[in-house]
Chains A and B, each alone.
Chain A
């Protein structure tokens, strides 16, 4: 094995130089095993989040209160399935398969975003998800458009465009409620109260507890720390909440002139860890529905495969 060491060293040097020069790493390029593994984990988790994330919103498709809102929501859920497909494709360039990743999701061996373990209890939750959850996702994802791994970065460019559109629609939904009847306004405020803190948790644990952060930043997979992005998100949301005519449920939230940022209250990290451990309000429900859809669809996928095999064989014989 010692004979290959200098060669690996040379490859590693080329890789490091490419990352340092802000060049994109492409699927056929050499990359460290750990870089590959980190990307598979992150892209898979991202893809899974799109797929599981369809559930809380799809929960309201059949109850959307106007046909216009129903069309917007259906289009959004459809986009999420599309984002899942882009991301599974990006993950596949790293030498894994969609089926394998889905199996890991179903077995609980890969994660999805903790936010989708919260329930959508009213129509206003659909707006709060658009404004806050998609808003947090965009804050996280825009820097990923410059991620060092090419296929992931390119997927993010496409996804961010669509996500920004959804986010504006969510904001507009809340605005309509906030300016509507008293009951609608109360519904909007209640949804923001329930989604605000979980949205802040979407940026992950604080910097001093984030296991993968420093290596990901060195590899330029990540460009900013969790706490930096969380602060950016809070600073963006405060004026938006004001123009919505809604309040954010944090008594400690105030402008800090000295820092040029908003100070905000302490996040309940115990809750965050419980949700990650599988003990959030909807963890069980979400994964059960996903598994059931997959299991109940098995005969359909088998039929498609059998049909393809049959007809590929016929075609092969005809042309042979």
Chain B
């Protein structure tokens, strides 16, 4: 089931990136919030991957080319503004997606989406508030936030590429996402980036197992212990 793998990998990989913040956040409240979001996403990943097979086999024994997450979520944390920009783009997408899936009684993802939609609404809210504070904070934070939004913009188009086994109204998903993000950026005194949302290399690439360079290194760290002890249980 490619769709479960795609959505599960998105959650797994972003959760891992957020986990890297532990002990490095700018305020203690953000240690709590980022870990909280990471945990929610890890919970989603575990449910979704379990629909496909053994969660640990899937997480720890697949190589880079077999992962189906979008490239957006594998992007390194960068500064706090990059993390928040990634979070805004992704959580706005995830909220629209899960709202649709939760409302679709025929979708195999409806039960999962019904639970996850409450979590992602919180994630989206957290990202919105930080986008406002950084965008409309100091000149430095404004410029860092704009830079981060611009840098990650080219990874956003992939969110709306077709995914096998995922039945959603993609136009509605895209329109809803764009309206949402545009509104937050306007209120944050920031500008919607104007470059292409899809680079030649990022056109649906993550979903096909084509990733960016930092991803392999992330997996090496994530998988090394599990792979060092074949067959062991933990």
Contacts and interface: CB of A to CB of B under 8 A. Distances in A.
The DSSP consensus for interface residues of chain A is: helix
B28 interface: yes
Contacts, number: 140
Interface residues of B, number: 48
Contacts of A177: 234
B138 A299 contact: yes
A123 B225 contact: yes
A65 B229 contact: yes
A20 interface: no
Given A65-B225, A70-B42, A303-B141, A77 B234 contact: no
Interface stretch (B30-38, B68-76, B169-177, B178-186): B30-38
Given A51-B28, A82-B32, A303-B137, A181 B132 contact: no
Interface residues of A, number: 50
B39 A74 contact: yes
B137 A183 contact: no
Contacts of B36: 78
Contact of B22 (A74, A82, A84, A302): A74
Given A67-B42, A123-B225, A301 B26 contact: yes
Interface stretch (B53-61, B151-159, B194-202, B206-214): B53-61
A161 interface: no
Contacts of A254: none
Interface stretch (A9-17, A56-64, A139-147, A197-205): A56-64
A298 B138 CA distance: 12
A81 interface: yes
B115 to A, nearest CB: 15
Contacts of A180: 232-234
A297 B234 contact: no
A62 B19 contact: yes
A300 interface: yes
Nearest to B50: A67
Interface in A147-200: 173, 176-177, 180-181, 183-184
Given A180-B232, A300-B27, A74 B38 contact: yes
Interface in A223-264: none
A276 interface: no
B232 A304 contact: no
Given A74-B39, A81-B32, A303 B232 contact: no
A302 B24 contact: no
B26 A296 contact: yes
A218 B97 CA distance: 61
B95 interface: no
Interface of A: 51, 54-55, 58, 61-71, 74-75, 77-78, 81-82, 84-85, 88, 123, 173, 176-177, 180-181, 183-184, 289, 292-294, 296-308, 310
7 tightest Cβ-Cβ pairs between the two chains A and B? A297-B26, A303-B137, A303-B141, A78-B35, A81-B31, A58-B22, A300-B26
